[in-house]
A and B are shown apart, each in its own frame.
Chain A
Amino acid sequence: MSAELTSQDLISRVTGVIAKTQKIPPESVTIGKTFEELKIDSLDGINILFALEGEFDIDIPDDAARQIRTVREMVEGIEKLLAAKAQAARAPE
């Protein structure tokens, strides 16, 4: 399997997806921002989840997604899903 993403890589990919989806400058999306500060409403939120699923080839469950309110929570959530995906890929059939 490919090398696991370093945290910094992951952060910049997630913030990049958010910036691209929201049509806002990439430098405005930092790990400390809340969705409210970035003016991300519920419809924007599902659009970002959709883009992130494509970016990382993962499936983000509805219930997990509903709790996310900040960029940091989003990065952490993606990290967990990627770890689970890597685990599943390593597991013997």
Chain B
Amino acid sequence: MMRRVAVTGIGAISAFGETYADLWNGLAAGQSAIRKLTLVPEGALRFPNAAEVPGYDPSRHFEDKEAQLLDRFAQFAAVAAREAVRASGIQFSLELKERTAIVLGASGGGKSTEDEGFHTLYALQQPRVSPLTIARAMGNAGASRVSFEFGITGPVFTISTACSSANHAIGQAFRMVRSGEAEVAIAGGSEAPLSMGFLKAWEAMRVVSPDTCRPFSRDRRGLILGEGAAVLVLEPLDRARARGAAILGEIAGFGMSSDAHHITQPSAQGAARAMRAALADAQLPPGEIGYVNAHGTGTQANDATETEAIRAVFGSHAGRLLASSTKSMHGHALGAAGALEAAATLGALRAGLIPPTANFTCPDPACDLDVVPNTPRAAEIESAISNSFAFGGLNAVVVFRRLS
């Protein structure tokens, strides 16, 4: 049994605000939400900017007692999932709860919770840490919280593959619904990496830009870290139509590969194999794709390698593709990146409007694609792919199709 898979709900919390509408409206306007980082003291890092959820206040979403149990990354997962499920209009019967899956990406887990515990031990010289540390910091805390929110008793798990986590999660959920293993899936990713200890580790890697994120620009200086979550509700297309749900798009395929090459250096061959696998899974020839939501981190290595991979897969059609990086606006949210980008790609297909690569200054011959520089572009596109390529050489690509 191979069923078509519709997206019937989207929720998001990002540097643009606490709803999917905030995210999409910002991207559609081509505005970058990269701003001064406020979660750590000024001057503590080589880079002053990030894509931080502005003015996030847990008490607007959770009772104090609940919030105490939840790291910021798990809260983001719950906030986005509530919006997605509400938008889908699904009422979970007892039977449906058992037939629903939750698959969420999370790269770092509860980093600020860990940081706080270590600070208590090593800086404050206290002999003990909070007994809630493990429950807050574990990578599956977000997925588990979402299961409590709706009483979901089917398969629930977390995928942690660094920057590809959410694409792997969405792809896995898609396949579970397509095969009939699950009737409904809640899938996406969440991340809250803006904690001093983790930011210092990123600083030491020298991949974070000292100003902003300029993917595909010749003068790009690195990525900008972001935080947030996005969650999709997936169900069989027939089921969505039968219940008269608003259909926001289709997931048409998923492909993955591993570079087996280098822990941080990307490989064009590995990226290309994932894109080819995704297109084959969707049974779409490359010429049918109109838009690529690029991994586009804004590092020297990624953007040139990704361009090479896109050219290898799409051949002469690469010249007609639109390929933008929305990380220029919502930042690189690591384990949530693919989820925010899925939300962006679905928005682009629905609205007929391609969000641009913001902050673009000058073309790079090594990135010679139409990257939709700075200005959103009206374009009626039927099918699109969203790329995620992780440290460790793990690649995951999702194919989306417009459905009305």
Contacts and interface: CB of A to CB of B under 8 A. Distances in A.
Given A62-B46, A62-B221, A46 B210 contact: no
B264 A49 contact: no
A3 interface: no
B240 interface: no
A70 to B, nearest CB: 18
Contacts of A24: none
Contacts of A56: none
Interface string A33-69: 0000000011100100110000000000111011000
B206 A46 contact: yes
Interface residues of B, number: 13
A57 B301 CA distance: 29
A50 B265 contact: no
Interface string A9-36: 0000000000000000000000000000
B243 interface: no
Contacts, number: 25
B39 interface: no
Top 5 A-B pairs, shortest CB-CB distance: A62-B206, A43-B264, A46-B206, A50-B204, A46-B205
Given A42-B265, A43-B264, A46-B205, 16 more contacts: A41-B262, A41-B265, A42-B264, A42-B301, A43-B262, A43-B263, A43-B265, A46-B204, A46-B206, A49-B206, A50-B204, A61-B46, A62-B210, A63-B210, A65-B206, A66-B206
18 contacts: A41-B262, A41-B265, A42-B265, A42-B301, A43-B262, A43-B263, A43-B265, A46-B204, A46-B205, A49-B206, A62-B46, A62-B206, A62-B210, A62-B221, A62-B222, A63-B210, A63-B221, A66-B206
